[in-house]
Amino acid sequence: MEGKGKNEGEVRMEHVLLALQETKEEREVRIRSLFSFFDKSSTGYLDHAEIEAGLTALHIPSDYKYARDLLHVCDADRDGRVNYHEFRRYMDDKELELYQIFQTIDVEHNGCILPEELYDALVKAGIEIDDEELARFVEHVDKDNNGVITFEDWRDFLFLYPHEVTIANIYHYWERACLVDIGEQTVIPEGISKHVHAGRYLIAGGIAGAASRTATAPLDRLKVALQVEMGDARVMPAVKEIWKEGKIFAFFRGNGLNVLKVAPESAIRFYTYELLKGVISDAKGEDKADIGAAGRFVSGGLAGAVAQTVIYPMDLVKTRLQTHECIDGKAPRLGSLTRDIWVKEGSRAFYKGLFPSLVGIIPYAGIDLAAYETLKDMAKKYMFPDSEPGALVQLGCGTVSGAVGATCVYPLQVVRTRMQASKTNETMSEVFLKTFQKESWKGFYKGLFPNLLKVIPSASITYMVYEAMLKRLDLE
């Protein structure tokens, strides 16, 4: 039921009027009144600001690009504004589209959608929904509270939704309109957790992460080499040293483990995040969607800490692979290296450096979030005063904010890497003090340049591959 569905025979406006028990004249008055509601200045045209203000007044989430997209889909002559005839043409097309999918869901063809019919349609579209959520869905759309959804209810709920009307899109539109706090847009969308194809999202994210890490693996290897260098650390000598170890392949040493970490780390973080949101919502006696920005921030931070702790041994072994001295130009085998750590240093060695790693999670997330919101607000104010920043602008904001956050907590990353690479049992404070005494504050920023070089290609590759995988997996 992912598509709009097909009825026998062509859907015509007469069918819509009959379902609404409305004459052509009455419909004309209704549409003109709606246009006038948006056209507060009585210019005969609607611009982005008027559409956004109208959507806000109707409690429709204009912040989710709907104002910009509604303007785009209505503006047939592409002059940046919508006249009444363009608005009327949009309404004609939209009501026909809504009637078509309404008929598809109304399998008993009794002129209304029953809760069980809506449930069946959602399940066929790949959406898992419980009885309580289904009741809220129906209650929100059902204006007269008679327990069923008439076509008038259906139309009034969706007629200003500018995208293709599919069951999945309708569900996510309802979520955004009713469940998600629109003021906190950096939060992960709620809907994925209830989607039966959640595994596909994890696959898409895993492949995107693997592609990104592989593409930036040489920079990661260079960064680690500079971080553990106690003397004068310079980029070109480090590059030459790595090249001597095994030419181009030496730059990818440890990347296999880095890629293997992606899927379990993403899955653990994703499901722990949902679990912690449930714990917080139960403690506060609220719905998951109402825990607020602070609740989501805490859930996200703790989920990151749990994921980091579980996969940390892989991260330590990766660092040992990258920093192990080659004998006769041969890199150590993964199995023998792991066994040597276990036998010679004990099981606790696999968690060396975990504490500074965990300490950096919350400040990084806080700085990243604050920088992202600031940059996005600046972009909206100075670059896009009449519209929402697009996906590429938001990607740019995320890239820069990530770089700022990573730079601020970078000293902790250097300490962690040195603890991972060391075969002694030095504590975090001991490594910190030794670094400062021998290398001053500059020692805490060794390898920062290649680390920052990773940011833009890493974010761009992840974004492009993730979007491509969503299309390939039929998740768009």
What pLDDT shows up at residue 188?
37
Among 265, 55, 49, 324, CA closest to 173: 55
pTM: 0.56
Give the DSSP letter string of 450-472.
Answer: HHHHHHHHHHHHHHHHHHHHHHH
Name which of 238, 248, 241, 183 is nearest 214 in CA terms. Answer: 248
**What local confidence, expressed as pLDDT, does residue 186 receive?**
29
Q: Which two tokens stand for residue 318?
A: 């990766």
Q: How far apart (Å, rounded) are the C-alpha atoms in residues 349 and 342?
A: 7
Q: What is the pLDDT of residue 167?
A: 87
Question: DSSP of 209-272, one letter per residue?
Answer: HHHHHHHTHHHHHHHHHHHT--S---HHHHHHHHHHHHHHHHTTTTHHHHHHTHHHHHHHHHHH
Taking the C-alpha atoms of residue 447 and residue 225, their distance in angstroms, rounded to an integer, is 8
Beta strands in 93-162 (DSSP E): 112-113, 149-150
Q: Please list the pLDDT of the chain residue by residue as tens digits (476 residues).
A: 334 444 445 788 999 999 888 899 999 999 999 999 999 889 999 998 889 888 877 767 555 457 888 898 999 998 999 999 999 999 999 999 999 999 999 988 888 999 999 999 988 887 877 787 788 888 888 887 888 999 999 998 888 888 888 888 888 777 665 533 322 222 333 444 445 455 666 677 678 778 888 888 898 888 988 888 887 778 888 888 888 887 888 888 888 888 888 778 777 776 777 778 778 877 776 655 556 667 777 777 788 888 889 989 998 999 888 888 776 667 778 888 899 899 988 888 899 988 998 888 778 777 776 787 788 778 877 887 666 666 667 777 777 887 888 888 889 989 999 998 888 888 899 998 998 988 888 888 888 888 888 877 776 777 677 667 766 765 55
Model pLDDT, residue 44 = 93
**Residue 386, pLDDT score:** 65
Q: How far is Cα 78 from Cα 86, in angstroms, rounded to an integer?
A: 11
